[in-house]
Amino acid sequence: MFCGLCEDGAKLLLRARTTRLLTVCYSSILLSLPALAAQAQQVLVVNPALPTAADELQIFLSVEHCSFHVSSAIQGNTIYLYPDTSRPCPSLPFPNPGLVTSVKLGPLSAGSYALTVVTDGQTTDSRVLFVQEPRTQLSLLQGRFAVSATFTSPDGTPRDAHAVQLGDASGYLWFFDKSDVELTVKMVSGFLINRRYWVFVSSATDVPFTLSIVDTWLCTPPTPSCPKRTYQGAAGSNRNFIDTSSFAYD
pLDDT at 31 over 60: no
Q: What's the mean pLDDT in 7-26?
A: 50
User: Across the chain, what does the average pLDDT equal?
Assistant: 81
Does residue 172 contact residue 166 with C-beta atoms inside 8 Å? yes
Rg (C-alpha) for the chain, rounded Å, is 29
Per-residue pLDDT tens digits for 44-94? 788 887 888 888 888 888 776 666 688 899 999 999 998 887 776 655 555
pLDDT above 90: residue 20? no
Residue 155: pLDDT above 80? yes
Sequence-separated (6 or more) residues with CB below 8 Å from residue 39? 124
Count of all residues that appear for the chain in the document: 250
Rounded Cα–Cα distance for residues 111 and 191 (Å)? 35
Residues forming a β-bridge with 164: 172
Mean pLDDT confidence for 124-142: 90
Residue 29: pLDDT band (50, 70, 90) is very low
Concatenated DSSP letters of 8-43: HHHHHHHHHHHHHHHHHHHHHHHHHHHHHHHHS--E
Candidates 95, 92, 75, 80; CA nearest to 29 is: 95
Phi/psi for 198 (5° steps) reads -105, 140
pLDDT on residue 221: 64
Order of strands across the sheet with 111-119?
70-75, 78-83, 111-119, 122-131
Cβ pair 143, 187 in contact under 8 A? no
- pLDDT score of 117 more than 70: yes
Per-residue pLDDT band at 181 (split at 50, 70, 90)? very high
At 23 the pLDDT is 47
Q: With a cut of 50, say whether residue 35 has pLDDT above it.
A: no
Confidence of residue 43 (pLDDT cuts 50, 70, 90): confident
From 140, 136, 190, select the one nearest 162 (Cα to Cα).
Answer: 136
At a CB cut-off of 8 Å and minimum separation 6, what does 22 contact?
none
The confidence score (pLDDT) of residue 41 equals 61
Residue 36: pLDDT over 80: no
- The fraction of the chain above a pLDDT of 90, given in percent, is 43
Phi, psi of 177 (to 5 degrees): -135, 130
Could you report the per-residue pLDDT of 202-222, keeping only the tens digit for each? 999 999 999 999 998 877 666
Give the per-residue pLDDT at 66.
63
